[in-house]
Structure 1
Amino acid sequence: MQSLHKNRTWELVTLPKGKKAIGCKWVYAKKEGFLGKNEIRYKARLVAKGYAQKEGIDYNEMFSPVVKHSSIQILLALVAQYDLELVQLDVKTVFLHGNLEEEIYMTQLDGFKVAGKENWKLQEGTFIYLLLYVDDMLIASKSKVEIERLKTQLNLEFEMKDLGEAKKIFGMEIWRDRAHDRVSLSQKQYLKKVLQQFGMNEHTKPVSTPLASHFKLSAQLSPSTNTELEYIAGSSYIQKTVDVGLLFKQDNTLGKGVIGYVDSDYAGDLDKRRSSTGYVFTFAGGPISWKSTLQSTVALSTTEAKYMAVTEAAKEALWLQGMVKTLGLVQEHINLYCDSQSAIHLAKNQVYHARTKHIDVRFHFVREIINEGKICLQKIKTADNPTNMMTKVVTATKFKHCLNLINILQV
């Protein structure tokens, strides 16, 4: 209530004729501490019953500043690689800072009705990274002084809660071993809750891979009842991976910045015979961006499927190149590794072959990117390509090897 009054969230008025008042309610929550610590915070929010609002009358558009998860991974990689300070802040009652242009009438809140009136900067060679997700902030810098200066500036504008060294963000736990220049990201608490939801405990037998190598799934095999859904979730390998996370570590021998790997299967989709694209990009040894998806069109050969996958990975490489440049790291080109020599040859060759002249022109932009030197497409042995696990079912041994290649380990 103090926050609501301090921010002058509303003004008490009589309801004008012809206007409709929107109801409201209190929403209560308990915010648990980090890694099971007894740091429970009790939170109360006053919310309008938004389902009664009409677009164009009560609101026009809604926007919240949210950082991409890949940006978080990039920041943690930078922290590990350059031994940066990393702290976390929270903006108190952030939604009360939004300015409404629309005229909205809301009923008074239960328990507090008034009687009679019911009806971020660069400076001196230092830098600061600030990632914002609505009201949660991650701040990284080499300089503790600059971080404290930024905190002071923010406190002049907003009520801030200093959470100290970053421990948890968006349900993900951040663990740091500064003595060995390592930072990890995991979801132990979230995964434990998922297991509890489906009645699994420490006595449940874990499995080593998401799917056994002999399985071939089609749409007809999709679960259709709640019992089947619970069986699918209950037989997953989450139990085996609760303590697994992304690990970033300083490695001065790398010197390569962002590195990409790409692969595809061929016609693995049993329903429409489409192929799957898989790519992963690493920085400071750990994964910062990845994707596994069905291709938009049917490939007529393994080479074509791999070529289409390379194109998708090249688009992500361009975004990552621009992102790290924004963060002050100029990387002239990104090394992208593929295990198909024929796809690499097709990407570098301007001659249209009879077998590939039908490929949609949008996939050929990768040739321009290669010619401009923005990505360097190179051959890698299939055994050393971690994206094999993202495009096809592999054995437990192969799966563990792929995870190790990109530092997805027990943390």
Structure 2
Amino acid sequence: MVRNKARLVAQGHRQEEGIDYDEVFAPVTRIEAIRIFLAFASYMGFIVYQMDVKSAFLYGKIDEEVYVSQPPGFIDPKYPQKVYKVVKALYGLHQAPRACQDKHVAEILKKFDFVNVKTANTLIETQKPLVKDEEASNVDVHLYRSMIGSLMYLTASRPDIMFAVCACSRFQVTPKTSHLSAVKRIIRYLKGKPKLGLWYPRVSSFDMEAYSVSDYAGANLDRKSTTGGCQFLGRRLISWQCKKQTIVATSTIEAEYVAAANCCGQVLWIQNQMLDYGFNFMNTKIYIDNESTICIVKNPVYHSKTKHIAIRHHFIRDAYEKKLIQVLKIHTDDNVADLLTKAFDVSRFQFLVVTIGMINP
């Protein structure tokens, strides 16, 4: 409760349950929860109105005695007293300017002087993976981090750039010219497709399904695998993951199993959220393109081949036994989560972008 509740702006004091507040809330909503709401609204045919708010307000008398003091080192000549009694609570409500994805892309192009550059069809060259490149020249670290930060903001609505941005963000300590070229290529790709975004069709089922995949030893720096996963409500993509695994997998099976466990955790969270909408998605389908991983999930015996896998990843088996999920085989060519784990040529990349549910308006 203390962690999720905002504290009073009074030095040395904090709110107490039952006196200052009765409910506990988190001030920030997960982006996946917003996508779930939008997917539900498209399925039901609701009209959704948006208002971007910079801050909320409350103007009313305070029943309790509340005192605040000036920050250390601050002196206001109009109010020389250091301690004040607060009579009314006043916060500001301001409507922020409407922001959209293509506007943010235009700001990136203008900020980094990419308005007149040529566009790119893909994000990363398949034949030139990103490495430390010790012999290359250093680049301005502040410029590099600024470009990465601007692109990370876009990943909330652009799963097509997720893998490339995550790959480039691993070199923020000592970026080289090759890394800067990779980031510039991402921006040139965005210049050609500034309005490409997720499409939530109304005419679609509302069943949940998920896809899990892993790029075994795909990270050239430490040979760790990359986890990829995505979750759909019908044809509506509501969540996706691209993350380098924390362990060094000793086999393809282990890397795929860790990725499947990560996908399972996200599925269970979505299942819990959908209960508030009146949907009980038991036996959610998780598609995996590795037959051995499916066998390990279904096999109740802890044989020697799975002992080296961390116990924390075995909860996927518990979820399977409780019939919260089911694991199904899918061909690698049909696994759309591949978009989040590696680089592809133009034809394969465009196919995955369309399949995952992204279109130009």
Work out whether the TM-score is over 0.5. yes
Question: If the length of structure 2 is used for normalisation, what is the TM-score?
Answer: 0.71
Taking the aligned partners of 1:361 and 1:308, their CA distance within structure 2 comes to 11
Which structure dedicates a bigger proportion of its chain to strand? 1
Residue equivalent to 1:263:
213
8 A Cα contact 2:58 2:91, kept in partner? no
Q: What does the per-residue CA deviation read over 1:227-274, in whole Å, with 9 as the maximum and x for residues that have no partner?
A: 74754432222212311111101234x352x22111001111222211
Of the structure 1 ranges 85-94 and 304-313, higher mean CA displacement relative to structure 2 is found in 85-94
CA deviation map 1:10-63 (0-9, x unaligned): xxxxxxxxxxxxxxxxxxxxxxxxxxxxxxxxxxxxxxxxxxxxx9936769x9
Aligned residue number for residue 301 of structure 1: 251
3-state SS in 1 of match to 2:199: strand
Name the structure 2 match of 1:66. 28
* Displacement of 1:220: 4.2
Aligned length: 292
CA distance in structure 1 between the aligned counterparts of 2:13 and 2:182, rounded to whole angstroms: 41
Measure how far apart 1:192 and its partner are: 1.1
Q: Secondary structure at the match of 2:336?
A: coil
Separation in 2 of the partners of 1:206 and 1:341? 40
* Aligned equivalent of 1:242: 194
On the 8 A contact 1:57/1:102 being kept in 2, the answer is no
Q: How far apart in 2 are the matches of 1:249 and 1:232?
A: 34
Distance in 2 between residues matched to 1:212 and 1:93, nearest whole Å: 43
> Match of 2:356?
406
1:75 matches 2:40: no
Partner of residue 105 from structure 1, selected from 61, 66, 70? 70
Whole-Å Cα distance in 1 between the matches of residues 244 and 358 of structure 2?
23
Name the amino acid aligned to 1:399: F
Query: Which of residues 105, 109, 133 is equivalent to 1:195?
Result: 109
- Deviation string, structure 1 residues 311-363 (Cα, Å, up to 9, x no partner): 00000000000011122222223211111111111111112333322111111
Partner in structure 2 of residue 317 of structure 1: 267
The 1:118/1:158 distance shift into structure 2, 3 A limit, reads: closer
Does 2:227 match 1:277?
Answer: yes
Structure 1 residues 91 and 312, CA gap change in structure 2 (3 angstroms): closer
Name which of 129, 139, 161 aligns with 1:225: 139
Q: Is the 8 A contact 1:251 1:284 kept in 2?
A: no
Describe the SS at the equivalent of 1:88. coil
2:11 pairs with 1:57: yes
- The question of 1:331 aligning with 2:293 is answered no
Amino acid at match of 2:119: P
Partner secondary structure for residue 274 of structure 2 = helix
> Measured at CA, do residues 260 and 101 of structure 1 come closer, stay the same or move farther in structure 2, by a change above 3 Å?
farther
Helix, strand or coil at the partner of 1:332: coil
Q: CA deviation at 1:223?
A: 8.0
Query: For residues 42-191 of structure 1, what are the structure 2 equivalents within 5 Å?
Result: 57=11, 65-89=27-51, 94=56, 103-105=68-70, 168=98, 171=99, 173=100, 187-191=101-105
Q: Is the 8 A contact 1:286 1:408 kept in 2?
A: no
Query: Highest Rg: 1 or 2?
Result: 1
Who is 2:120 aligned against?
207
Identify if the C-alpha distance between structure 1 residues 354 and 118 changes in structure 2 by more than 3 Å, giving closer, same or farther: closer
Task: Give the Cα separation in 2 of the matches to 1:283 and 1:231.
Answer: 37
What letter corresponds to residue 57 of structure 1 in structure 2? Answer: Q
Distance (whole Å) between structure 2 residues aligned to residue 314 and residue 95 of structure 1:
39
CA deviations 1:266-304 (Å, max 9, x no partner) are 111222211110001112412211110111111111111
Whole-angstrom CA distance in 2 between matches of 1:345 and 1:231 = 43
- Once the 2 structures are TM-superposed, how far is the Cα of residue 382 of structure 1 from its aligned partner? 0.9
Report the alpha carbon displacement of residue 88 of structure 1 after superposing the two structures with TM: 3.0
TM-score by length of 1: 0.63
**Residues 344-363 of structure 1: matches in 2 within 5 Å?**
344-363=294-313
What amino acid does structure 2 have at the position aligned with 1:199? Answer: D
Cα offset, 1:79, TM superposition? 1.3
Deviation at 1:86, TM superposition (A): 1.1
- In structure 1, C-alpha distance between the alignment counterparts of 2:138 and 2:231, rounded to whole Å: 35
Residues 193 and 93 (structure 1 numbering): CA distance in 2 closer, same or farther, change over 3 Å? closer
In structure 2, C-alpha distance between the alignment counterparts of 1:93 and 1:276, rounded to whole Å: 38
Distance 1:212 1:351 in 2: 43
Label 1:90 to 1:247 Cα distance change in 2 as closer, same or farther (>3 A): closer
Give, in whole Å, the separation in 2 of the partners of 1:298 and 1:162.
47
Closer, same or farther in 2 for the Cα pair 1:92/1:220, shift >3 Å?
closer
Q: Distance in 1 between matches of 2:122 and 2:70?
A: 54
Residue 143 of structure 1 corresponds to which residue in structure 2?
none
Letter in 2 for 1:79: A
- Residue range with higher mean Cα deviation, 89-98 or 296-305: 89-98
Structure 1 vs Structure 2 CA RMSD: 3.3
SS in 2 for 1:87: coil
- Structure 2: where are the runs of 5+ without partners? 1-8, 16-24, 82-89, 144-176
> What SS is found at the alignment partner of 2:306?
coil
Q: Is the 8 A contact 1:91 1:159 kept in 2?
A: no
Contact 1:249 1:284 in 2 (8 A): no
Residues 65-116 of structure 1: CA deviation (Å, up to 9, x unaligned): 111111111111111111012123466852666999662226687xxx86xx
